[in-house]
Structure 1
């Protein structure tokens, strides 16, 4: 036996019902937006781009990668760096 739940809304005018529905939808959208964070696409930089970003020589970028100051990623013979990881590797001075 299936129980059906029926709701009767004789106490609301059309305008009041619209307001109640709008408020409910707004609450749901607000709750959804609290938990939804769109993912930013990864930006990959080459050694040259990292060197240009910091105004250093490519050999410096190679040295940073070799000493694990920045994390290189590879595809074939190409080397890339995630911009977000490069920015995270910066440390504040004078703490």
Structure 2
């Protein structure tokens, strides 16, 4: 059976106001600390080759080896810029 909490000497209005106050504080904290995510940017194969200074053969081989993670969208191949940044950071570590 669940826990039962009893509140004495408090009206429902006071209890509701107390909850509303706590929720307002939490919402304000979230607003202060919230940073919206930037939308994902996709690179074409040519843009990826230019950024990494690699050939199309290297791009293809890296895709086969799992180094790059190509995304196919309507018969086209794209790469997430965020994944490329992570790849560069890992290789510099």
TM-score (norm 2): 0.63
The correspondence of residues 60-71 of structure 1 with structure 2, limited to 5 A, is 60-71=58-69
1:79 match: 77
Unaligned runs of 5+ in 2: 1-10, 15-23
Alpha-carbon deviation of 1:4?
A: 4.2
Distance (Å, rounded) in 2 between the aligned partners of 1:63 and 1:3: 67
Unaligned runs of 5+ in 1: 6-24
2:57 match: 59
2:39 match: 41
Alpha carbon RMSD of aligned pairs, Å?
2.5
Distance (Å, rounded) in 1 between the aligned partners of 2:83 and 2:44: 13
Q: 1:59 to 1:28 in 2, by over 3 A?
A: same
Where does structure 1 differ by over 4 angstroms across 4 or more consecutive aligned residues? 2-5
Structure with the larger helix share: 2
Corresponding pairs, count:
72
TM-score (norm 1): 0.62
Q: 1:52 to 1:28 in 2, by over 3 A?
A: same
